[in-house]
Structure 1
Amino acid sequence: MKAKYLIGLLILLIFSGPLLIAQTSIAYQRFLETDHLDFGLGSYGRIGVGWMPTIESTEGRRLNLNSMGSIGGRMEEQDYMELGVAFYIKPENYPKDSTEIVVQIRSALYSNNLQYFGNSSTGDAFSSLTLAFPEIFIEARHVLVPNLNVWVGSRLYRGGDVHMADYFYFNDHSGQGFGAEYKNSRVSAIFVSSSDTTSTVPPYFFLNIKSGTPGLELRQRIVTAFEHDFHLKENDLLTVLGEWHHMGDPSDEELDINDPDIIASYPGDDGWVLGVKHQWNEIAGLSAGSFNHLALRYGSGIANGGDGGNSRTWNTFGAANLDTYEFKDAYSWHIVDHFLVNFGESWSLNAYGVLNRSKGAARTNGLAETYLGREVYNSKTDWTLGVKAVKYLTDQLHLQAELHHSERKDGNEPWYAMTKLSLVPTLAPTGARSVWARPHLRFVASAARYNDAAMNARYSPYLQLVGSDRWGYYFGVKAEWWTW
């Protein structure tokens, strides 16, 4: 057992940096001296290579529409890795005391400029290899009274996802804050904060470094969320969701801006969210593991977020009303259905549908002014349907085929559309006949067709690189694993 602890703590040292060296050494010494500690290790990741034959590029680009992320298929995703460690601490009078204490740390590694891991390093200014810590939190379970859990820290606090679209929908409350759970109820508060990159009125003015678009919506705010599960019957679950967002007033300090027509600051604002999700986790008459999940959510005011391939409500969409400088009339609708049907050990069918409709508070549907004279679209609608069939040729050889269709309309622009087919012969060395079998070693062959609007506007990461084209192609050899 000591060897397992040593390996895990060595990995933690590598990914946590010198600031944790002393603390980790102390932790390891305590592992050796007490029976009140245990250790767990987990990982998720994907890595591989891609090729675009159109321009003979050895670094592939996503074929999906812009601002959709992996909605439309994730087979062209770039390298990414998570590594997590958990320390399980037992109370002093264990086992009489049933309290469980968990300290969990998860690191994430990725490249901002889409380079392969093997061609990147943290010492290379051009590779932008980035190390992040999406999770560092402590949770006490069954503390004070049975079934009461409390936690503090930064946490990936979210429910299920549409894995074939890498889409965590409905209740992604990830962030830094605190929360409590009691039986079937959960309440949390996350403190959404953004760095001030313009040195104007910290911290209430934020310039999105990636897009260059300043946004009121990314100022500091507090998001309070409540969820409750109703167990209607066995394997039949109904979850209700409520959120309240509050964003404080910025400083009263006058900004040194010469143009009086330029918007530089907005007052504080609020927003709310209501949602419901129904989960059939076993379907009568179908093989084990079959399910259907249906979610509906409405967000109002500054809580109308959910774009760019993620569903976080605090990432507010659109522009404010320029008469009141508020997001009072902004809204968003978010509908997702996700199902899996297993036909014995022969094959499986996995499918999803996503519909997102968002509108800001400005009077126009098209472009509207925001900070510093910039313009953003004040409305958008997108929808996607996707289906994956998996044929288990043998225990270890699976044939996957995916078909996706996505459409998106920004403001008064025409509808952009993409249809994509991917054929993915897959090696599943564990021999499990399941869509969740991992690790996977995959050969990916994808072809996408764009409509006139998407082609002419180059409305895809692929088209932005190769130019206007009716068809897009991607070939790759990929691996994906998880050990959670």
Structure 2
Amino acid sequence: MSLFVMMLSAVPSSAHASLLADRLEISMYGRMGLAWTPTSGRFIMGRSMNLTGSSIGGRFEEGDYLEPTIRLHILEKKEGPEAPYVDMVMTPAMFASNGLFAGIFSTRFSDPLSIELFQAYVESGNVLLPGLRVWGGARFYRGTDVHIADYYYFNNLSGQGGGVAYGPLDLAVLMQTSRTSPQYNFDVDGNGSSDLRRQRSVFVAQYVHKLEGGHSFHGLAEFHLLPGARMNLADGTQVGFRSDHGWVAGVKAHLDLGNGSFNDVSVRYGSRIANGGRGGGQSWDTVGLPDLRGLYTDAASVSAVDHFLYNFGSAFSLNAYGILHWAQGASDTAADKSLDFAVGARGTVYLHDNIHLVGEATYQGLMSRGETPMATATKLTIAPTFVPVSGRSVWTRPHFRIFYTAAFYDEDAVAALSAPYLQTVGPSSMAHYLGARAEWWF
């Protein structure tokens, strides 16, 4: 982002107004607020009450987060679906990774505000051929989400790579690696540093078939490849990685119910090293352990989501979801299996164009290892909301919310301290979270 500012500063001042008006767009998602736990007084800002630690199961207790996006139109922007365009997009994200407030920029804390570059890519469209799109860089390469669970599902392939799309067909090649995972790093001499490193290549094909009435079907296929990397020791022993692979296949149906209402249903299967998806992870977040050969031959996963929104005129909206993730590794042990699920519903009563009453109920479960009992939790939230931009829609922003959430944990969740909230406050079968939050996007 600093490079982009330097580029702007190099432009003569007389040209700034024209550049900003004609070529530059700035958008942003953000949330910021306050939080208390009435019964313990512990600091819980951003400490999720959900069993997986993600926002699946309710997102009201999410911490501060800022995500501005800068889009520069390299070609002058013209209206029309077939108008040629070349855009540069950059999205830095800022969040307090240790639960502190986003307003704290000081190094007085061991883990202050974190800044990451989520997107930096160039996209070209309709240049050689109408409907042809080409992109390269790092981007949010994903589709729809369950917003009330802050969960991009089915085809969340956000990462670094490049792709080409024409009409309903979308192809991409992505790269994935890690500095810490033993799946990508091998310490040959035991000195604590990685002597062998490798990367995963992910080949993606997607196709969207549109039907009359706004309905559509979406097909997804992925192929993952991890190459072998071997090294010979002085005694002739060969160590390192064996090559492995995996694949994903999925289908998603979108039903347009009119008046802004819809129902989305998806199922995705992942095999071998592409069995990721647990707790909202991506397909390359491989679950479980390898077999004795270091391979994920029998690893597998299933992810299923049903998400719908129904608007009852201008008086009430109901948004609900059901999410299931099942996965197993390749070690052939009872413990090398996991299951998590969540069902939730948020109702919004439009008391006034500017006053909405939001209520939410969720039930979730987590079995992190196949031989352990399933931990469960129930959450109930009430959130009076002021909406300064008049609108009777669940998508109208900004929101100014005051909310209270009560969570009820079973004995297995309490014993395992399954949620970050419990890890902070301590074992308790009932939890309280009182907060105020501003959320905006534009």
Q: Deviations over 1:361-390 (max 9, x none)?
A: 111021xxxxxxxxxxx2101111000110
Q: With the length of structure 2 as denominator, give the TM-score of the two structures.
A: 0.91
| Aligned 8 A contact 1:224 1:244 in 2 | yes
Q: Deviations over 1:301-326 (max 9, x none)?
A: 1000012333x10111000011x211
Amino acid at match of 1:392: Y
How far apart are 1:266 and its partner, in Å?
3.1
Amino acid at match of 1:316: T
Aligned equivalent of 1:140: 124
Match of 1:224 among 203, 206, 213: 203
1:234 is paired with a residue whose SS is helix
Change (3 A) 1:254 1:407: farther
Aligned equivalent of 1:211: none
Whole-angstrom distance in 1 between the partners of 2:289 and 2:351: 52
Change (3 A) 1:466 1:141: same
Alignment coverage as a number of residue pairs: 431
How far apart are 1:195 and its partner, in Å?
2.5
Instruction: For 1:48-447, list aligned pairs within 5 A.
Output: 48-60=33-45, 62-90=47-75, 98-118=83-103, 120-121=104-105, 123-195=107-179, 204-205=185-186, 220-252=199-231, 254=233, 265-283=240-258, 288-310=259-281, 312-322=282-292, 324-366=293-335, 378-411=336-369, 412-447=371-406
Output the aligned Cα RMSD.
2.9
Q: Deviations over 1:392-433 (max 9, x none)?
A: 001111000000000111221001000000000101110111
Whole-angstrom distance in 2 between the partners of 1:227 and 1:278: 13
Amino acid at match of 2:283: T
How far apart are 1:38 and its partner, in Å?
1.3
Task: Answer with 75-84 or 462-471: which moved more.
Answer: 462-471
How far apart are 1:464 and its partner, in Å?
1.1
Q: With the length of structure 1 as denominator, give the TM-score of the two structures.
A: 0.83
Stretches of 4+ aligned residues off by more than 6 angstroms: 32-36, 91-95
Aligned equivalent of 2:425: 466
Whole-angstrom distance in 1 between the partners of 2:207 and 2:12: 39
Q: Deviations over 1:210-234 (max 9, x none)?
A: xxxx99xx95201111100111222
Aligned equivalent of 1:374: none
How far apart are 1:129 and its partner, in Å?
1.1
How far apart are 1:183 and its partner, in Å?
0.5
How far apart are 1:93 and its partner, in Å?
12
Q: Deviations over 1:2-50 (max 9, x none)?
A: xxxxxxxxxxxxxx23x44442334677666789951111000110011
Unmatched 5+ residue regions in structure 2? Answer: 188-192
Change (3 A) 1:34 1:460: closer
Amino acid at match of 2:223: W
Whole-angstrom distance in 1 between the partners of 2:29 and 2:209: 31
1:313 is paired with a residue whose SS is coil
How far apart are 1:60 and its partner, in Å?
3.8
Whole-angstrom distance in 1 between the partners of 2:430 and 2:130: 58
Amino acid at match of 2:264: H
Change (3 A) 1:233 1:27: farther
Aligned equivalent of 2:190: none
Whole-angstrom distance in 2 between the partners of 1:482 and 1:296: 30
| Aligned 8 A contact 1:68 1:309 in 2 | no
How far apart are 1:59 and its partner, in Å?
3.3
How far apart are 1:81 and its partner, in Å?
0.5
1:281 is paired with a residue whose SS is strand
Whole-angstrom distance in 2 between the partners of 1:418 and 1:401: 17
1:434 is paired with a residue whose SS is coil
2:155 is paired with a residue whose SS is coil
How far apart are 1:460 and its partner, in Å?
1.2
Change (3 A) 1:404 1:253: farther
Whole-angstrom distance in 1 between the partners of 2:11 and 2:79: 19
Whole-angstrom distance in 2 between the partners of 1:435 and 1:340: 9
Unmatched 5+ residue regions in structure 1? Answer: 1-15, 207-213, 367-377
Aligned equivalent of 1:3: none
